[in-house]
């Protein structure tokens, strides 16, 4: 999901509908570096995540659009963006690979909290 060796990560939590903030509003953000960043990359790259094939039907509860956006920056080369849906399907995607990841959103909550 994420190539090794990023120098930093920005985690941004965006509001969905039925939140105190308008949908799409940045609620919180946090920058991660060092060992915590390396641990998160290893966590996201675990081979045990259930992969959701592109175009596959996938039954999900109603989503209110709450999203965490992860922007991984590298010393050289392009960055990588991972979108984590924190409700509804509760999945994570880098645009090429999508995994069922209820635990990923919970893991990120230590940096950006939970929805209000």
Question: Using an 8 Å Cβ cutoff, are 75 and 27 in contact?
Answer: no
Say what the pTM is.
0.86
**Chain-centroid distance, C-alpha 84:** 3
Q: Is 8 helix (H, G, I), strand (E, B) or coil?
A: strand
Query: How many CB atoms sit inside 10 A of residue 68's CB?
Result: 24
What does the alpha-carbon distance between residue 88 and residue 76 come to, in Å, rounded to a whole number? 35
DSSP one-letter code for 63: P
What would the two tokens of residue 41 be?
A: 């990359």
Mean pLDDT by 10 residues, the chain (116 residues): 95 79 82 96 93 77 75 95 85 91 84 72
pLDDT the model gives residue 63: 64
């Amino acid at each position: 999901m994420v190539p090794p060796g990023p120098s930093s990560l920005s985690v941004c939590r965006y509001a969905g509908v039925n939140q105190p903030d308008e949908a799409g509003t940045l609620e919180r953000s946090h920058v991660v570096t060092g060992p915590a960043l390396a641990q998160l990359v290893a966590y996201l790259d675990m081979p045990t995540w259930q992969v959701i094939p592109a175009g596959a039907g996938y039954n999900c509860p109603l989503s209110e659009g709450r999203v965490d956006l992860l922007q991984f920056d590298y010393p050289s080369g392009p960055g990588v963006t991972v979108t984590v849906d924190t409700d509804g399907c509760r999945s994570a995607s880098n645009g090429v690979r999508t995994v069922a990841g209820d635990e990923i959103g919970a893991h990120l909550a230590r940096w950006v909290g939970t929805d209000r």
